A and B are shown apart, each in its own frame.
Chain A
Amino acid sequence: MWRWLHPYAKPEATYRLVDKLLPWFAALTAVSLLVGMVWGLAFAPSDYQQGDSYRIIYIHVPSAIFSMGAYFGMAVMGVIALVWQIKTAEWSIPAIAPVGAAMTAIALFTGAIWGKPMWGTWWVWDARLTSELILLFLYVGVMALYYAFDDQRTGAKAAAILAIVGVVNLPIIHYSVEWWNTLHQGATITKFERPSIATSMLWPLLISLLGFMLLTISLVMMRFKNELLRHELHRPWAQRVLGTAEESH
């Protein structure tokens, strides 16, 4: 089956696939985010303890989960790049890392803004907050390593290794609220028992989660398309896509 997938045709085929899927993902992202945000902001009931400040949960939790989800995806691409030497997997690393870093940044500052009225402080060096900050540094490190070498493939390999090693941080983030006595509240939905949130608040949260998942994927796809074109700029298909192909004469 892999025989007829000519190695040079592959980035083009990948581009066509991503290009075809992106509009659907973007449209679904817009719909689910709109529904999730409006429902969460205007229709979900206030929290009996936190009042309306809890509404930050509708961006804080989804961005935090997909800051980790994107990292895991990047690490999987790192494994594929190292084991099977697939170039498109290498190119996906610089496409995923900035998006994941953005999600991590969103999780961090929405957490800080939520923490100020609830905890009385923007920041504490507690386990959950610190491990999430380390995730941001890991993303920055992966990007820095990727671009640190003259030979881009060496950079990709170094970045892939860091991405894979950094996966150890993910369970630390997730279990930090159980392993250590933190200021951060415990898990709301990602536990084995029933979620500790009322269904009227849970539904908009689930829709926001879907929205942020689709958003992460859409943003990665946008960047990945650019990465594919960047490496294939000298090939006719990329020039045709960019509309810069010379007329045959």
Chain B
Amino acid sequence: MAFDSFQEFVQMGGYGFYVWLSFFLTFLVIAGVALDALIGRRRLQRQSRTLQRRRQRLSKRQQRQSSPVEESKR
């Protein structure tokens, strides 16, 4: 251990502000990049679901158009 007490560790020999600021900002940037990737995946999920729904609607409409007899029986 390079420090005698927790107090000294926080103070960093008078450079506490600079040391902790740089570590905090670094953490912030990294967390931001990671979070952006996670949000990106969520967004892809939403897009995929929308795409799927549209395709289902389309195929239903096509079925109706291709079999009008079945439609009239109902």
Total A-B contacts with CB atoms under 8 angstroms apart:
107
Contact, CB under 8 Å: B37 / A223: yes
**Which of under 10, 10 to 19, 20 to 34, or 35 or more describes the interface residues of A?**
35 or more
**Other-chain contact of A53, B19, B26, B29, B45 (Cβ < 8 Å):** B19
Binding site for A on B (CB under 8 A): 1-3, 9, 12-15, 18-19, 21-23, 25-26, 29-30, 32-34, 36-38, 40-41, 44-45, 47-49, 51-52, 55-56
Given contacts A106-B26, A109-B25, A226-B40, contact A116 B18 (CB under 8 A): yes
Docked Cα-Cα span, A239 to B49, in Å, equals 8
Contact with B along A108-126 (1 / 0, CB 8 A): 0110011011000000000
Contact, CB under 8 Å: B34 / A42: no
* Chain A positions within 8 Å of B56 at CB level: 246
Contact, CB under 8 Å: A52 / B15: yes
For chain B, what secondary structure do more than half of its interface residues adopt (helix, strand, loop), or is it mixed? helix
* Chain B positions within 8 Å of A37 at CB level: 23
Contact with B along A210-231 (1 / 0, CB 8 A): 0000010001001101100110
Contact, CB under 8 Å: A63 / B26: yes
Contact, CB under 8 Å: B15 / A234: no
Contact, CB under 8 Å: A110 / B26: yes
Q: Which A residues, 52 to 100, have Cβ-Cβ distances below 8 Å to chain B?
A: 52-53, 55-56, 59-60, 63, 98-99
**Other-chain contact of B44, A51, A109, A215, A242 (Cβ < 8 Å):** A242
Contact with B along A20-43 (1 / 0, CB 8 A): 000000000000000001000111
Given contacts A44-B2, A59-B26, A109-B25, contact A53 B18 (CB under 8 A): yes
Q: Counting chain A CB atoms within 10 Å of each CB, which of B1, B15, B49, B56 scores highest?
A: B15
Given contacts A52-B13, A114-B18, A117-B15, contact A223 B48 (CB under 8 A): no
Q: Does A169 contact B (CB under 8 A)?
A: no
Apart from A53-B12, A106-B29, A225-B41, 20 more pairs, CB < 8 Å? A41-B9, A41-B19, A42-B9, A43-B1, A43-B2, A46-B2, A52-B12, A55-B12, A99-B33, A106-B25, A110-B22, A113-B25, A222-B34, A222-B37, A223-B40, A225-B37, A226-B37, A229-B44, A233-B44, A233-B48
* Chain B positions within 8 Å of A51 at CB level: 12-15
Q: Does A199 contact B (CB under 8 A)?
A: no
Contact, CB under 8 Å: A42 / B3: yes
- Give, as a whole number of angstroms, the nearest-CB distance from A152 to chain B: 16
* Chain A positions within 8 Å of B23 at CB level: 37, 41, 56, 59
